[in-house]
């Protein structure tokens, strides 16, 4: 694998418009926060202003289902007036089956619509979305959107035990609908997804062939494909699909006060336990426990199989805000191992190589030092 630059994703402001939704997705991560209320226009305006002060030029309108907010069109216009150059909505797409509503949204300044599509058929999508008829409305929304010149149309697919065997068919469907940008989202153990874990969970490593087929198909079609929250060992040999490490910051930011309380209180996280091994933050949370015990964290050493100084002096203290700790973790301690590490005599002592090194050099750069 040749060395490549890893550029950080463009800074985006996520703004929640509502705590209501017209779908009842089996895997909804947000279910515990959905009480049916819409956010006030004042609150949304402050969040939009805050994003501009943070230097964001892109805004992502989210929910619940953001398009059912009664002031949805006005909010898009407001975002534009405040200086956002790209206004994106993440949606189940049902409201956009009304072509006039979509036309007004685009006229107000909507730049991108990301449709959630979770099934290759009405039966599969509607089962996951929890609403009969959702699929046909979403597909009508997509067909309305792709006709609008200049509007970017993309898709999110939450990959889970119900639809993973149909993933190739879902992606093929997106292409037939003229969508060639999509993000595969890995299921994480929160909200309704955790309640329905028995139905929804699967082992991604058992489905490597399906993912490989989808990646090759997307490449042949010239599509833009991203992965989100997938366990990194799944992407051995597919390093170009590893998500940028900075995305961990968004995960931590969403629960900033919970993490800060955890660091200072000595108590357990509300979510710790059985679900941790399925969570994208598992390594980070283990590091926080070490930080609590020792009062600081050091940079991870470079593994023996790679050139470089084995130990670094850099450290972060337990008195820091969790966002500073997360930035340190991403820079200095976010590591991963290759399948070959199981054969290495350093395996027990070694934490693996930094994710960015693996993104640049590939997992194949981790060559066992002696054999067990
Ligand atoms: S790894 Fe951390 S954030 Fe994830 S479930 Fe466990 S305690 Fe919660
Ligand atoms: S091969 Fe794996 S276990 Fe061995 S030194 Fe390299 S990263 Fe560590």
290-300 tens-digit pLDDT: 999 999 999 99
- From 236, 268, 254, select the one nearest 336 (Cα to Cα): 236
Centroid of ligand 1 to alpha carbon of 275 (angstroms) = 7
**pLDDT the model gives residue 265:** 85
**pLDDT the model gives residue 2:** 41
Task: Collect all residues with Cβ–Cβ distance below 8 Å to 274 and sequence separation of at least 6.
Answer: none
> Is 45 in contact with 77 (CB distance < 8 Å)?
no
**pLDDT the model gives residue 235:** 97
Cβ of residue 269 lying under 6 Å from some atom of ligand 1: yes
Task: Collect all residues with Cβ–Cβ distance below 8 Å to 207 and sequence separation of at least 6.
Answer: 164, 165, 167
Cβ of residue 312 lying under 6 Å from some atom of ligand 1: no
Cβ of residue 40 lying under 6 Å from some atom of ligand 1: no
Q: Is the pLDDT score of 1 beyond 50?
A: no
Cβ of residue 282 lying under 6 Å from some atom of ligand 1: yes
Confidence band, pLDDT 50/70/90 cuts, at residue 266:
confident
Name the more confident of 37 and 315.
37
Centroid of ligand 1 to alpha carbon of 132 (angstroms) = 34
Confidence band, pLDDT 50/70/90 cuts, at residue 249:
very high
Give Cα 88 distance to the centre of its chain. Answer: 15
**pLDDT the model gives residue 311:** 66
**pLDDT the model gives residue 314:** 83
Centroid of ligand 2 to alpha carbon of 366 (angstroms) = 6
Cβ of residue 57 lying under 6 Å from some atom of ligand 2: no
Mean pLDDT over each residue of the chain, to the nearest integer: 94
Alpha carbon of 92 to those of 22, 30, 134, 149: distances in Å?
A: 9, 14, 8, 21
Q: Is the pLDDT score of 88 beyond 60?
A: yes
Centroid of ligand 2 to alpha carbon of 145 (angstroms) = 48
Alpha carbon of 46 to those of 40, 41, 253, 258: distances in Å?
A: 10, 9, 18, 23
> Is 16 in contact with 39 (CB distance < 8 Å)?
yes
Cα Rg of the chain, angstroms: 22
Helix, coil or strand: residue 129: helix
Average pLDDT (68-80) is: 98
Average pLDDT (87-93) is: 98
Centroid of ligand 1 to alpha carbon of 99 (angstroms) = 42
Given ligand 1 and candidates 197, 251, 276, which is best to mutate, with the most ligand atoms within 8 Å of its CB?
276
**What domains can you pick out in the chain, each with its CATH number?**
12-243 (3.20.20.70), 252-365 (no CATH)
Task: Collect all residues with Cβ–Cβ distance below 8 Å to 177 and sequence separation of at least 6.
Answer: 139, 142, 143, 146
Cβ of residue 140 lying under 6 Å from some atom of ligand 1: no
In the chain, % of residues over pLDDT 90: 88
Q: Is the pLDDT score of 226 beyond 90?
A: yes
**pLDDT the model gives residue 315:** 85
Cβ of residue 285 lying under 6 Å from some atom of ligand 1: yes
Would you mind telling me the total number of residues written for the chain in this entry?
A: 372
Centroid of ligand 2 to alpha carbon of 335 (angstroms) = 11
Cβ of residue 276 lying under 6 Å from some atom of ligand 1: yes
Tell me the C-alpha distance between 136 and 92, whole Å.
11
Given ligand 2 and candidates 301, 305, 358, which is best to mutate, with the most ligand atoms within 8 Å of its CB?
305
Tell me the C-alpha distance between 169 and 153, whole Å.
19
Helix, coil or strand: residue 368: coil
**Which residue has the CA at smallest separation from atom 2 of ligand 1?**
285
- From 341, 292, 296, select the one nearest 315 (Cα to Cα): 296
Centroid of ligand 2 to alpha carbon of 215 (angstroms) = 27
**pLDDT the model gives residue 310:** 67
Would you tell me the crossing angle of helices 208-221 and 167-176 to the nearest 10 degrees? 20
Taking the model in full, what pTM does it have?
A: 0.92
Name the more confident of 89 and 319.
89
Q: Concatenated DSSP letters for 180-212?
A: -EEEEEEP-SSHHHHHTHHHH---GGGGHHHHH
Cβ of residue 47 lying under 6 Å from some atom of ligand 1: no
**pLDDT the model gives residue 3:** 43
Centroid of ligand 2 to alpha carbon of 305 (angstroms) = 6
The ligand that comes nearest to the alpha carbon of residue 287 is 1
For residue 64, cis peptide bond before it (omega within 30 degrees of 0)? yes
Tell me the C-alpha distance between 142 and 147, whole Å.
9
- Give the pairing of strands 58-62 and 86-91: parallel
Segment 112-162, tens digit of pLDDT = 999 999 999 999 999 999 999 999 999 999 999 999 999 999 999 999 999
**pLDDT the model gives residue 372:** 76
Tell me the C-alpha distance between 263 and 256, whole Å.
11
> Is 357 in contact with 343 (CB distance < 8 Å)?
no
Given ligand 1 and candidates 272, 273, 292, which is best to mutate, with the most ligand atoms within 8 Å of its CB?
272
Tokens describing residue 173? 């469907």
The ligand that comes nearest to the alpha carbon of residue 372 is 2
Burial of 15 (0-12, 13-18, 19+ CB in 10 A): buried
Confidence band, pLDDT 50/70/90 cuts, at residue 259:
very high
């Amino acid at each position: 694998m040749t060395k490549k630059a890893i550029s950080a994703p463009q800074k985006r402001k996520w703004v929640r418009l509502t705590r209501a939704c017209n779908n009842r997705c089996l895997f909804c991560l947000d279910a515990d926060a959905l009480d049916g209320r819409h956010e006030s226009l004042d609150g949304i305006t402050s969040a939009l202003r805050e994003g501009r002060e943070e230097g964001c030029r892109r805004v992502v309108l989210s929910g619940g289902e953001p398009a059912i907010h009664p002031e949805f069109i006005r909010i898009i216009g407001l975002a534009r007036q405040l200086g956002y150059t790209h206004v994106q909505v993440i949606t189940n797409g049902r409201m956009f089956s009304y072509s006039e509503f979509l036309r007004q949204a685009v006229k107000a300044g909507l730049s991108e619509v990301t449709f959630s599509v979770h099934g290759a058929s009405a039966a599969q999508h509607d089962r996951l979305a929890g609403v009969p008829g959702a699929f046909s409305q979403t597909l009508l929304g997509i067909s309305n959107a792709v006709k609008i010149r200049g509007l970017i149309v993309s898709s999110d697919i939450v990959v889970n035990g119900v639809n993973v065997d149909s993933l190739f068919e879902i992606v093929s469907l997106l292409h037939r609908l003229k969508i060639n940008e999509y993000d595969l989202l890995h299921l994480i153990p929160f909200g309704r997804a955790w309640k329905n874990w028995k139905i929804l969970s699967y082992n991604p490593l058992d489905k490597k062939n399906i993912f490989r087929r989808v990646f090759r198909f997307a490449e042949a079609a010239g599509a833009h494909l991203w992965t989100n929250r997938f366990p990194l060992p799944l992407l051995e040999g597919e390093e170009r699909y590893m998500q940028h490490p900075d995305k961990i910051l968004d995960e931590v930011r969403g629960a900033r006060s919970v993490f800060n309380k955890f660091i200072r209180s000595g108590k357990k996280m509300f979510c710790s336990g059985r679900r941790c091994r399925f969570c994208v933050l598992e390594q980070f949370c283990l590091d926080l426990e070490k930080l609590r015990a020792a009062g600081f964290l050091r940079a991870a050493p470079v593994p023996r199989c790679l050139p470089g100084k084995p130990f670094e002096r850099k450290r972060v203290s337990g008195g820091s805000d969790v966002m500073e700790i997360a930035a340190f973790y991403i820079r200095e301690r976010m590591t991963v191992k290759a399948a070959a590490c199981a054969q290495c005599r350093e395996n027990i002592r070694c934490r693996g190589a930094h994710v960015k090194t693996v993104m640049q050099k590939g997992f194949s750069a981790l060559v066992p030092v002696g054999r067990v």
